[in-house]
Structure 1
Amino acid sequence: MQAFINEYGGQILTKSAEHIYISALALALGILVAVPLGIVLTRFQKISSFVIGLASVLQTVPSLALLALMIPFFGVGKLPAVIALFIYSLLPILRNTYIGMKNVDWNYRDVAKGMGMTNLQSIFSVELPIAMPTIMAGIRLAATYVIAWATLASYIGAGGLGDLIFSGLNNFQPPLIIAGTVPVIIIALLSDFLLGLLENKLTPTALKQEVE
């Protein structure tokens, strides 16, 4: 065990850092695109089904096939991997943002309007905080997906813990497989825990008490 850590310890840390970088960047892009888009769709109901349906279709494409499709356009490396993972992160965040915003009681909107709030003020001060638990549930789900699928990014030269896993599979070295798999699980669990803390912080106190 000590010999294995001495030999591969540095590589495990480096690959873990690459994995986190790829996953975090893809998830951040997904949030930046899907949350505003989900909010906009609640104001344009006629196109909401088409846009969410398109996102659903994109997620049905096998992850390895989508990664391969990125190569002719973006080559190999981290860029195509981030773009592919970004596409996969869209649906859970977009769908949950749309559902969360759409399910906000109209009474809250009427109160905001009665207080003289503009549409944007109502969204940011009233609707978003109420919809936050649903939105964060989508982000937490997307984070789990992205971290898991990022292991396949090694097939197109993006690095990450997938390098250790597939190297172990190709060379029949179970310790390498475990060295790649365990950190992925830890990263996924840790990210879900941290996002849970963020969700708790962003959710209005009155709403949390109502749920309890």
Structure 2
Amino acid sequence: MNLIADALAWIFSGDPGAGLAPIPVAFVEHLVYTFLSVLIAGAIAVPAGWAIGHTGRGRDVAVAVSGAARAVPSFGLLLLLVLLLGVLHKPEAAVITFVLLAIPSLLAGAYTGFEAIDRAVVDAGRSMGMTGGQVLRRIEIPLGLPLLIGGVRAATLQVVATVTIAAYANLGGLGQYIITGLNLRRFDMVLGGAILVAVLALVLDALFALGQRFALPHGVRASSTRSAPRARAPRPAAA
């Protein structure tokens, strides 16, 4: 309990010490790396996932690529890219590492969102004379959006947790408190940094959970509500 109290006191002290950046600055750095990486990964993975889900081709390749990307250790990849790109390009090496980490979840969320759609709905759209592009825009993307947001949610949480290793390359973020605290044996700083990362992850998870809930089209939500079984009123006992 004393360590927790010391960690909370360190968080609210306003001065992290050891020449480190203030906590608000570290928060901003952490979020910049996270959202920039997820945005770049989304620009790569989401169109590819939509193409796979729309055409039904390439799913096996996507699964293989996603599995291979998940198996690569992030810390080892970061150090390798720093060595390959040079110390002057450490931010680029970190972003590439986080992008590769985020792609599998985004790719899976994009194509599984389309695969989860009832084929009868897609066939109904085609029978009404919709072109492939209209089916994509008006049916598949809106109905597949909740699972896509779920993929963005998973990717964001993975990147938030992994951005802490950027501190090993002196790139800032909330991980700098954990790394520096371990070196200085300042366990209040280590626990405080871990608490900050956990709070940030929980807040982002809650926001994406709300977004996933409201991404479902209103008509589908209303249909699900109407089709839910209603509780029957108890019958009066016979006299």
Q: Same fold (TM over 0.5)?
A: yes
* Unaligned runs of at least 5 residues, structure 2: 1-8, 226-239
Match of 1:87?
100
How is 1:99-114 mapped onto 2 (pairs within 5 angstroms)? 99-114=112-127
Quick one: percent identity of the two aligned structures? 27
| Alignment deviations for residues 135-155 of structure 1 (CA, whole Å, 9 cap, x no partner) | 211111111101001101111
Of the structure 1 ranges 2-11 and 16-25, higher mean CA displacement relative to structure 2 is found in 2-11
Match of 1:130?
143
Structure 1 residue 211 displacement after superposition: 4.5
Q: Which is richer in helix?
A: 1
Q: Following the alignment from structure 1 to structure 2, what is the Cα–Cα distance between the partners of residues 143 and 199? A: 14
| Alignment deviations for residues 80-117 of structure 1 (CA, whole Å, 9 cap, x no partner) | 11111111111111112211212211111112112222
Structure 1 residue 192 displacement after superposition: 1.2
| Alignment deviations for residues 3-48 of structure 1 (CA, whole Å, 9 cap, x no partner) | 9714228611111110111011111112222111111112454432
Match of 2:63?
52
Query: What amino acid maps onto 1:27 in structure 2?
Result: V
| TM-score (ref. length: structure 2) | 0.81
Work out which of the residue numbers 78, 86, 98 in structure 2 matches 1:75.
Answer: 86
Native 8 Å contact 2:10 2:192 kept in 1: no
Structure 1 residue 189 displacement after superposition: 1.0
Match of 1:202?
215
Superposed CA RMSD: 2.1
| Alignment deviations for residues 46-69 of structure 1 (CA, whole Å, 9 cap, x no partner) | 432123211210210111111112
Higher Cα Rg: structure 1 or 2?
A: 2
| TM-score (ref. length: structure 1) | 0.90
Native 8 Å contact 1:78 1:159 kept in 2: no
Q: Closer, same or farther in 2 for the Cα pair 1:39/1:197, shift >3 Å?
A: same
Of the structure 1 ranges 146-155 and 69-78, higher mean CA displacement relative to structure 2 is found in 69-78
Match of 2:155?
142
Structure 1 residue 204 displacement after superposition: 0.5
Which secondary structure state, in structure 1, belongs to the residue aligned with residue 171 of structure 2? coil
Work out which of the residue numbers 50, 61, 67 in structure 1 matches 2:72.
Answer: 61
Native 8 Å contact 2:10 2:189 kept in 1: no
Native 8 Å contact 2:10 2:188 kept in 1: no
Residue 176 (structure 2) pairs with residue 168 (structure 1): no
Query: What amino acid maps onto 1:61 in structure 2?
Result: V
Residue 136 (structure 2) pairs with residue 117 (structure 1): no
Q: Following the alignment from structure 2 to structure 1, what is the Cα–Cα distance between the partners of residues 11 and 173? A: 22
Native 8 Å contact 2:10 2:16 kept in 1: no
Q: Following the alignment from structure 1 to structure 2, what is the Cα–Cα distance between the partners of residues 179 and 19? A: 15
Residue 28 (structure 2) pairs with residue 20 (structure 1): no
Q: Following the alignment from structure 2 to structure 1, what is the Cα–Cα distance between the partners of residues 169 and 182? A: 17
Native 8 Å contact 2:30 2:174 kept in 1: yes
Q: Following the alignment from structure 1 to structure 2, what is the Cα–Cα distance between the partners of residues 35 and 61? A: 21
Which secondary structure state, in structure 2, belongs to the residue aligned with residue 199 of structure 1? helix
Aligned length: 212
